[in-house]
Amino acid sequence: GGAGRCGAGSAMSLRERSPGGAVEAGEDAAAALAEPDDPDRCLSLLPWDRFSAWLHCVCVVGFDLELGQAVEVIYPPHSKLTDKEKTNICYLSFPDSNSGCLGDTQFCFRFRRSPGRKVSLCCFLDQLDRDLPVYLKKDPAYYYGYVYFRQVRDKSLKRGYFQKSLVLISKLPYVHLFRTMLKQIAPEYFEKSEAFLEAVCSDVDRWPSPIPGKILHLPIMGVIMKLRIPTYRDKPGTTPIVQNMHQADAQISMALPTVHEVDLFRCFCPVFFHIQMLWELVLLGEPLVVMAPSPSESSETVLALVSCISPLKYCSDFRPYFTIHDSEFKEYTTRTQAPPSVILGVTNPFFAKTLQHWPHIIRIGDIKLPGEVPKQVKVKKLKNLKTLDSKPGVYTSYKPYLNKDEEIVKQLQKGVQQKRPTEAQSVILRRYFLELTESFIIPLERYVASLMPLQKCISPWKSPPQLRQFSQDDFMKTLEKAGPQLTSGLKGDWIGLYRHFLKSPNFDGWFRSRQKEMTQKLEALHLEALCNENLVFWSQKHSEVETVDLVLKLKNKLLQADREQLPVKNDTLKKLQTHINDIILALPDDLQDILLKTGT
């Protein structure tokens, strides 16, 4: 699909393809996963293949007086975790002792996978990854951990407390889905035992694969979760509603309004007056730390920050919950170099000292929905942040590039006075961020699309032409006539904001994916140009050596189209294969034998 676009497209058609999407078993397995209802197609699926499409494993982390936190159970038992990964999971699955989380707490964390690990069978799921919006694509270097932690008084235990976490480890950033799933299963797991966990995992192993754009029914312990994973084709800001049908069957079904979104308004409430400045800081990939009373607040806020520049992908590292035991603790807190481009969520008071030198600190109290709107809060000076119990607010000396949008503040304040539900407030806030990001990115999209060579420059007999170089000066010149003022009424130093953005990891990631997409488009157009030539006629006019050379080049083109998932119509590939066969058949027998064997 997507063959009609000549690289332009809007900001929202950001679509990266993973190279090497195919794997030996790929075709069959992907086909089998795509058609869960057809038993014949499923033969190539092994036990746990469906499970691995959603989860890496499920862990139970407990507290042992001798060992401290320890992984007690990993399910399925064959799941591979390195010692370093296990250590990270242990420390990240428990709130810091000072959080005093009594009862049940849910949060999430993200940690680096150990390098040198073979990519699991899920390579063929890269085909599904291709259809996701860019900000939902898996990052193969990281795992997410989704935690349900229970701490209750228990006189029979030495420490007087029962403490355990049920943790789902996954490469997928589907926060809301896994949060909902844990709410369903964790309380029952704590009452029951390992056998229950086994049953949960075998339920997941019956799930259809995570295909973007389809309504999926996921059974979990007697309940069916119904949901839809977005695709890159969805118009940003729209979520097709999954209707909750009252089925005749006995199973209860729950419709999930989203798989990945957090409650934006609730998260931004404590720093309500600074949302626009925070959007700039995230857009520019500035080092940000969120200091919160508990991991649930820190993780929600970090995820809200990362999502506020959607549909742009936040390209730096972010840690929804970060502890002093984290394997990257030294690297991220060192004072010998400038703080890195990351967003950290922390709860340990120790960080107030360790991260004092960070340029932007967000301090959050307990997240409560305001009965009244927080009073106008000034940005606070960093030197005033001595301890973690400093007042909530944003501590930074950053001067925003854009003037403040008073409208959105008024609109949300009015909502609070009228007791507008937080879901509705979140929708307003999400739309505001989306319009801001689109106004910012559209001029860049427009300029980058102009770097694409014209279709008439594509000759079947020459290599595809190169994209023109990105020139900062040329881009800046376009802003006068076709800048953000076309879609946004916000005044301010947009030029300064662009200059800063062009040096950021987010620009780098965005531009690379654009470049890749446009280069693939050129390769695809080149393939189509070749297909429209009379290649057999050409080969009759040229020597055998040249003809053999052409056949090998065409075979290479076909392999490349498959390997890089080029946006080429299937008919084009079939046509090219026919051309190749016809040319070979016109050659002497000995050459035919050799050529039919090569490169298939």
Residue 465 has a pLDDT of 87
Half-sphere exposure of 299 (CA within 13 A, CB side): 26
pLDDT bin (cut points 50, 70, 90) of residue 18 is very low
Residue 10 has a pLDDT of 33
Burial (CB < 10 A; 0-12, 13-18, 19+), residue 55, is buried
What are 288's strand-pairing partners? 343, 360
**In sequence order, which residues have a C-beta less than 8 Å from that of residue 544 and are 6 or more positions away?**
587, 588, 591
Residue 43 has a pLDDT of 39
pLDDT bin (cut points 50, 70, 90) of residue 312 is very high
Residue 381 has a pLDDT of 64
Does residue 29 surpass a pLDDT of 60?
A: no
Does residue 101 surpass a pLDDT of 50?
A: yes
Does residue 19 surpass a pLDDT of 50?
A: no
Q: What is the mean pLDDT of residues 79-90?
A: 93
Question: Is the peptide bond between 76 and the residue preceding it cis, with omega within 30 degrees of 0?
Answer: yes
Query: How many angstroms separate the CA atoms of 99 and 545, rounded?
Result: 75
Query: How many angstroms separate the CA atoms of 498 and 401, rounded?
Result: 10
Does residue 225 surpass a pLDDT of 80?
A: yes
Residue 243 has a pLDDT of 62
pLDDT bin (cut points 50, 70, 90) of residue 37 is very low
Residue 98 has a pLDDT of 66
Most confident stretch, 1-15, 204-218, 530-544: 204-218
pLDDT bin (cut points 50, 70, 90) of residue 360 is very high
Q: What is the mean pLDDT of residues 252-279?
A: 89
Query: Could you tell me the two tokens for 16?
Result: 């990266």
Residue 7 has a pLDDT of 37
Q: Are 535 and 551 in contact (CB under 8 A)?
A: no
Q: Are 212 and 231 in contact (CB under 8 A)?
A: yes
Does residue 36 surpass a pLDDT of 90?
A: no
Of the candidates 98, 170, 91, 186, the residue with the CA atom closest to the CA atom of residue 136: 170
Question: Is the peptide bond between 311 and the residue preceding it cis, with omega within 30 degrees of 0?
Answer: yes
Cα–Cα distances (Å) from 550 to 499, 545, 546, in that order, read: 46, 9, 6
Residues shown for the chain: 600
Residue 375 has a pLDDT of 54
Does residue 28 surpass a pLDDT of 70?
A: no
Q: What is the mean pLDDT of residues 272-286?
A: 95
Residue with tokens 């009373």: 293
Q: Among 109-113, 249-253, 274-278, 366-370, whose mean pLDDT is lowest?
A: 366-370
Of the candidates 368, 362, 370, the residue with the CA atom closest to the CA atom of residue 390: 362
Helix (H) or strand (E) holding 459: none
Query: How many angstroms separate the CA atoms of 363 and 290, rounded?
Result: 6
Q: What is the mean pLDDT of residues 237-256?
A: 66
Residue 427 has a pLDDT of 92
Q: At what angle do helices 472-482 and 422-449 cross, to 10 degrees?
A: 120
Cα–Cα distances (Å) from 27 to 12, 32, 480, in that order, read: 29, 9, 49
CATH 3.40.1350.10, applies to 49-256: no
Helix (H) or strand (E) holding 20: none
Query: How many angstroms separate the CA atoms of 346 and 502, rounded?
Result: 29
Please tell me the pTM assigned to this model. Answer: 0.86
Residue 13 has a pLDDT of 31
Tell whether the torsion through CA atoms of 568, 571, 572 and 574 is positive or negative.
positive
Query: Could you tell me the two tokens for 333?
Result: 């807190």
Q: What is the mean pLDDT of residues 241-267?
A: 76
Q: Tens digits of per-residue pLDDT, 374-398?
A: 555 566 665 655 554 567 889 899 9
Does residue 122 surpass a pLDDT of 60?
A: no
Query: Could you tell me the two tokens for 51?
Result: 């499970």
Q: Tens digits of per-residue pLDDT, 59-70?
A: 999 987 777 889
Does residue 267 surpass a pLDDT of 80?
A: yes
Residue 390 has a pLDDT of 67
Q: Among 108-122, 308-322, 338-352, 429-443, whose mean pLDDT is lowest?
A: 108-122
pLDDT bin (cut points 50, 70, 90) of residue 15 is very low
Does residue 102 surpass a pLDDT of 90?
A: no
Q: What is the mean pLDDT of residues 339-350?
A: 92
Query: How many angstroms separate the CA atoms of 85 and 80, rounded?
Result: 10
Does residue 40 surpass a pLDDT of 50?
A: no
pLDDT bin (cut points 50, 70, 90) of residue 106 is very high
Q: What is the mean pLDDT of residues 103-120?
A: 83
Residue 125 has a pLDDT of 63
Does residue 358 surpass a pLDDT of 70?
A: yes
Comparison of pLDDT for 369 and 48, the residue scoring more:
48
Residue 386 has a pLDDT of 54
Residue 141 has a pLDDT of 92
Residue 39 has a pLDDT of 37
What are the structural domain ranges in the chain? Answer: 49-256, 440-506, 534-598
Q: Are 138 and 313 in contact (CB under 8 A)?
A: no
Residue 371 has a pLDDT of 52
Average pLDDT, the chain: 83
Query: How many angstroms separate the CA atoms of 206 and 309, rounded?
Result: 35
Diameter of the chain by CA atoms? 92
Residue 273 has a pLDDT of 87
Most confident stretch, 87-91, 252-256, 353-357, 586-590: 87-91
Residue 374 has a pLDDT of 53
Residue 239 has a pLDDT of 67
Q: What is the mean pLDDT of residues 207-215?
A: 92
Percent of the chain with pLDDT strictly greater than 70: 84
Does residue 450 surpass a pLDDT of 50?
A: yes
Q: What is the mean pLDDT of residues 446-453?
A: 94
